[in-house]
A and B are shown apart, each in its own frame.
Chain A
């Protein structure tokens, strides 16, 4: 499992990103606020408003031993129009792994191929700077449903990524109940520090969230994630599918909000090759990319 080595230029993603970002620069709405941990709603920041967001995304648990992959994101958002917001992120990662593979060795995403498989591994590193654009085409408050386009290209010394998303939102019960669906396509180019060739892979994700307003300032909900991983950019190279489900909790007051969500992998994973099937244990897939639990904690400050 892992990247298929390929010398294809990553600069294609740069060009595609700029072109797609350019296409999005056109262009009203309400504050963008992360009421879900893993799902985006279709709302955008009002024109001229800023938001600072701090996000922690953790992934824990492999076959055995210890594995913790902590992704830190600091984001600054700005509302260019009432329908279009842009953002810049600084992303870094801390990985700790110790004898977590099925065979008792140390590995997983963030552990370089050259690391000693028989000892623990830990490293904190800056990963990428990414840019985000969200353009709202339909408002959940005025139209039958909300719809927005999302694009996030990321650039780093050893990793390039582009992530287009289709965001859908439908509100019920006078906006007390919010249902949101994201369809995500993620393409990634990456290499280890001491390896010259770039590997590439992609993922499709469907992420569904349901959030209910429990009381003033408080929301609680459930989120579901369906991921299909491909070893290359070809649809014929599907590696596995995995499913996650869990609760979330959101608090907002005045200009501050915070959200926490935890997703547990469901024991219904499917591997499309023998290698992938070997990475399934108790119905859950681990191997290089998947973990037992995903956690997101984020907070935002509007100004």
Chain B
């Protein structure tokens, strides 16, 4: 290999070496931490997973317009003694390359109480963790439009994540309406 070829190969070889080494993945919250943030007054989270049939999944899709990724929905009843505080639902939506793990907290009336991002593994778009963006959903109930650039503001450079989390909220509000209410 002559000098000119060696010089030319430096950049691509550096990229190949640097690419797989650098990492953006982050676990922001463990499950228990997210549960405490959503329901600080709760003293127990009772596992209440529901496995949907294909028919039920189709009903969620029909109601929300969003396809359910898996049949089993991980959820917990947040309790303080005998008092029911609300639902804590753990979910995943598609990110650009991997899955975004997030959680939705619903009050006893089915209104969104809080959203938390547990794992985010994408290069861009981590701004969806911002309190201000997540606060747009608080108080929303089944039937809300939940459309980017309509009742939910988009974050430039994080459009895909914003869209899929917004769709996720819409799907879980339909799930609540059909199977938890």
Contacts and interface: CB of A to CB of B under 8 A. Distances in A.
A and B: interacting chains: yes
Interface stretch (B38-46, B49-57, B76-84, B160-168): B160-168
A47 B154 contact: no
B178 interface: no
A142 B22 contact: no
Contact of A28 (B66, B123, B154): B154
Contact of B96 (A72, A252, A301): A252
Interface in B135-181: 148-149, 154, 156-160, 163-164, 167
Contacts of A79: 157
Contacts of A139: 159
Contacts of A47: 156-157
B19 A256 contact: yes
A142 B19 CA distance: 30
Give the size range of B's interface with the partner.
35 or more
A92 B19 CA distance: 23
Nearest to B162: A141
Interface in A18-71: 28-31, 33, 46-47, 49, 52, 54
B114 to A, nearest CB: 24
B98 interface: yes
A30 B19 contact: no
Contacts of A176: 94
Contacts of A46: 124, 156-158
Contacts of B67: 173-174
A82 interface: yes
Give the size range of A's interface with the partner.
35 or more
A142 B149 contact: yes
Interface string B4-15: 110010011001
Nearest to A213: B94
Given A142-B154, A299-B16, A217 B22 contact: no
A216 interface: yes
Interface in B105-130: 121, 123-125
A175 B148 contact: no
B11 A74 contact: yes
A124 B4 CA distance: 10
A22 B163 CA distance: 32
A234 interface: no
B18 interface: yes
B121 A142 contact: no
B98 to A, nearest CB: 5
27 contacts: A29-B157, A30-B96, A30-B159, A31-B96, A31-B157, A46-B157, A47-B156, A52-B11, A74-B11, A74-B12, A139-B159, A142-B149, A175-B94, A175-B164, A176-B94, A217-B98, A253-B20, A254-B22, A254-B97, A255-B123, A256-B18, A256-B22, A258-B19, A299-B15, A299-B19, A302-B123, A303-B22
Interface of A: 28-31, 33, 46-47, 49, 52, 54, 72, 74, 79, 82, 92, 124, 139, 141-142, 173-176, 213, 216-217, 252-258, 299-303
